[in-house]
Structure formats: C-alpha cells, structure tokens
Structure 1
C-alpha cells in the first residue's frame, strides 16, 4: 500500500497512527496539495490528502473511510467496535475530532492563504471557525471526564482522532491554551505521545 499525504496534516496523521497501531507496512509519499505542480488529482479528484493507493492501483480517500478499511486488515489492536452502540460512540468521537480539524483548517486558510488579499479576509468567518474549535475541544474534555480513554478503558479510534486534533491545534494555533483549560485532555495527549505511533508522527 502507498499512502499519499503530508506530515503536517492531522487527517494524514490519523491514518499513519492507525497504520502503526495495526502494524501495517506501507510506503509514505509526501505531497503538497497546495503546490502548483501537485499531482494529487490523478489519485483523488478532490485534490485532498490522505489518499491510500492499494496494490491494484485503486485509490481510497477520506481519512474516515481509510481507517475503517485499515482496521479490518489485521486483528492486531482492534480500534473500531462491531456495529452497535459502542461503534456509534467511537465514530461520534471521530466526527467531533474531525469537525475541530475541519474548522481549524478553514480558520487557517482564511487567515493565511497567500492568494487572498488582506482586505478580502473575513474576520467574522475566522471568529466563527475559532468558536467551533474551542467548543469542540470543550466537548472533548467533557466527554472524556476522568476516564483513562475516550471510549472505555482501552485505546480506540476515539483517542487517536482526539489526539491528532489536539496535536494539530497545538501545532498551528499555540495561542489556544487547551492544556491549561482542560488538564484531562493534556493528560490524555501526554499518554498518547508515549506511544511510538504518536511520537513518530508528530507534526
């Protein structure tokens, strides 16, 4: 398998962490989708990463689709429960974390995209996305409470998704003091960073 992505993308990191936890072999191909000479559209018509290329040259994209598929490839470290309430809970955690990352990406693009003049940037849009990021992080902290992991007592895709979101927010928006506001999330992230899968994929 070949994974096309960037080291800074939190969605790519989610896939890489799952790959590591599942002990799957793959080739990592760095791609800058914002470059004028990017070739990502030949694999993903949406021009986004991550994109997983299988042995038969078939492409799979969207991190949620990819990690669901990867979890079926090996019995090692099952990360997504079987269909039912527990599975829905894990996928809801993933949706929450992805939503935080989506809002953060929109915030950053509005504030920094070089092809938009300063006068064209919308502070109201930036504020709206920032509010989503902060509300999402607060919801993560409330949902985690004093539990050792987001969904029960073992690592799952819930924790991987939340960890990737928090790591990226800390990387791109260091002014957001999510650790100070939510110590339980800081404790969870520190625990995740002890795992090679997280330590080796930090943005």
Structure 2
C-alpha cells in the first residue's frame, strides 16, 4: 500500500500521526505543507484546509488525526496502540481527546496572540487567558490520570502516551514559559522516557 501524509513538521497533530506510523513500521511519503501560506493547496485534499491529511493509494483522503491513527493501527499487527472495543479502548481514546484538547486550546491562544491579519488592539487577552486555563486544567487531569503508572493507560505504550507526548512536546516548543515540568513531575518523567524512543526523537518539533 502506498501512503502519502500531508502535513507540517511543527504540527503536534501531524507529529502524532508520524509517530504512530513509525511505531507501526509503516512506509509512507511525507509531503510538507504550510496551510497558512497563500500558495497552499491543502484544500484539494482536505476541504477544511487542515493537516494532517492521509492520501491512500487510490487518492482517497482521510483527515483528522484521530481518524487517521485509528485507521493506521489496523494496517499492521506490530505494536497495537488502540485496544479492541470496550472500556480500555474508551479510556485510551478519552486520554487522546484530552491531550488533543490541550493542543486545541494552546493553538487558539497562540493564534489569538500572533495572527498577522489582526491589529494588536483587536486581540483579546481574556480569550488567551481562557484558553490557557484549559491548557492548565487539561495538564492537571492528565497528571492525575497518569499517577505513578509507567504509561498513561497501563504498563505498555499506547495511543494515550503518543497523544500526551505530542501535547507536551508542542507546549515546550510553543509555550516554553509554561513550567509544566515543575507542576507535574510525573508528566516530565513520562516525556523524558518517550523521547528516548526513536519515533519521538525523529519528530521533535522545531
């Protein structure tokens, strides 16, 4: 099967897909795309104009990182990352949704602060603070869920850890002033352990 992934190296959602593909040992072509550029052509593959977007051998497009990684996990028996339907699966997908939500809020806060087509007088600090409040609440919940376990959803690497690791890595990249490591040392330990994996080291943003 010939797979093509359209994305940005700085996107945490794209990174999540790239890590899953590495862990599953799937071959693919990576096509870098800047969706903010005037010359972007992403809408040809995804009408929403967002990455990641996975193109299948026949040209069919699959988009939204959560949909893509669920599909990718079915392509190879190597390193199953999502449990079969049931309570454990729901726990993994909920953890992924929470980690993605942290990234969603962080992206909204960042774009409010840097969007070039908006004057400084039009920016809302209250909106930024509201989104960063969601980031901190999400980190607290992730830390409480991790507790003293070796991984987010038990004793083995799963999609939970990949999603959380991508969220933490993106915060370090885009919001270095947020000292989540001191506030949540268990998340820091998890992140350090994940960064020892080749899939994480190879996709570090920046």
TM category, shorter = over 0.9
- TM-score (normalizing by structure 1): 1.00
Q: Which residue of 2 aligns with 1:83?
A: 85
Q: Which residue of 2 aligns with 1:23?
A: 25
- TM-score (normalizing by structure 2): 0.98
1:64: how far off?
Answer: 0.1
1:50: how far off?
Answer: 0.1
Structure 1: which 5+ residue stretches go unaligned?
A: none
1:196: how far off?
Answer: 0.3
**Within 2, Cα distance between the matches of 1:13 and 1:107?**
20
Residues 43-85 of structure 1: per-residue CA shift (max 9 Å, x gap): 0000000000000000000000000000000000000000000
The structure 2 residue matched to 1:102, chosen from 96, 101, 104, is 104
Q: How does 1:14-93 map to 2 (within 5 A)?
A: 14-93=16-95
1:173: how far off?
Answer: 0.2
Q: Does the alignment pair 1:123 with 2:125?
A: yes
**Within 1, Cα distance between the matches of 2:116 and 2:136?**
25
Tell me the SS of whatever aligns to 1:3.
strand
RMSD: 0.3
**Within 2, Cα distance between the matches of 1:122 and 1:178?**
24
Q: Does the alignment pair 1:192 with 2:194?
A: yes
**Within 2, Cα distance between the matches of 1:99 and 1:20?**
23
Q: Which residue of 2 aligns with 1:161?
A: 163
Q: Which residue of 1 aligns with 2:10?
A: 8
**Within 1, Cα distance between the matches of 2:101 and 2:34?**
22
1:152: how far off?
Answer: 0.5
**Aligned pairs, number:** 203
1:130: how far off?
Answer: 0.4
1:88: how far off?
Answer: 0.1
Tell me the SS of whatever aligns to 1:4.
strand
1:36: how far off?
Answer: 0.3
Moved over 3 A (4+): none
**Within 1, Cα distance between the matches of 2:59 and 2:170?**
30
Q: Which residue of 2 aligns with 1:147?
A: 149
